[in-house]
Amino acid sequence: MFPLGSNIMTDNAEKLLLLVSRVIKKMPNKISISGHTDSVPFVSPSGYGNWELSADRSLATMRKLITLGINPDKVMKIVGFEDNDPYVKSDANHPNNRRISITLLREHPLIEIKNINEEKPARKPRRDKPVNPFTRK
C-alpha cells in the first residue's frame, strides 16, 4: 500500500480506499485507522523513524478519506503500530506489512455479561389468566 519509507499511498491503495470510503459513508459507525510498517530499519537524521511513519500513514489515510467525502467526525482514533503487528508474520520485512487498517467501531459498547451463578432477585409468580379480584382465582 505504501512504498518503503513513505506515507504516500500507491495508486492501487488509493483506488481501494475509494471503494472502502463508499462503504464507510453508508455506515453509522465511527472508524479507527491504524498505520503499519515493515521491520526494515528506517531512521532519518532528525530521528523520524518507523513509529512516526506508521502514525503518518494513518494521518494520510484520514486526510484522503476526508477528501473522498468522509465526515472528519467519523474518525475516532488514529494509531501507529510501527512493525508490531505484521500482516505477513513469516517475513517481517515483507512489503505487505506496509499498510493501514480501518476498523468500523461499535456504535454502542458491549453490554456487561453477568455471572450466571449470581443470585437473582425472587420473581413473582406469573399468571397466564387475569385474576378475578372477587374470587382470587
pLDDT exceeds 90 at position 72: yes
Question: What confidence tier does 106 reach under pLDDT thresholds 50, 70, 90?
Answer: confident
Asked if 33 and 100 touch (Cβ cutoff 8 Å), the reply is yes
Mean pLDDT for 118-131 is 60
Say how far apart CA 57 and CA 32 lie, in whole Å: 13
Task: Tell me the β-bridge partners of 23.
Answer: none
The pLDDT of residue 34 = 97
Give 3-state DSSP helix, strand, coil % of the chain, rounded to 5: 30, 15, 60
Please report which residue ranges of 1-137 form alpha helices under DSSP H: 11-26, 50-67
The residue-averaged pLDDT of 116-121 equals: 59
Distance CA 134, CA 81 (A): 72
Classify domain 11-104 by CATH architecture: 2-Layer Sandwich (3.30)
**pLDDT tens digits, one per residue of 18-59:** 999 999 999 999 999 999 999 998 788 888 999 999 999 999
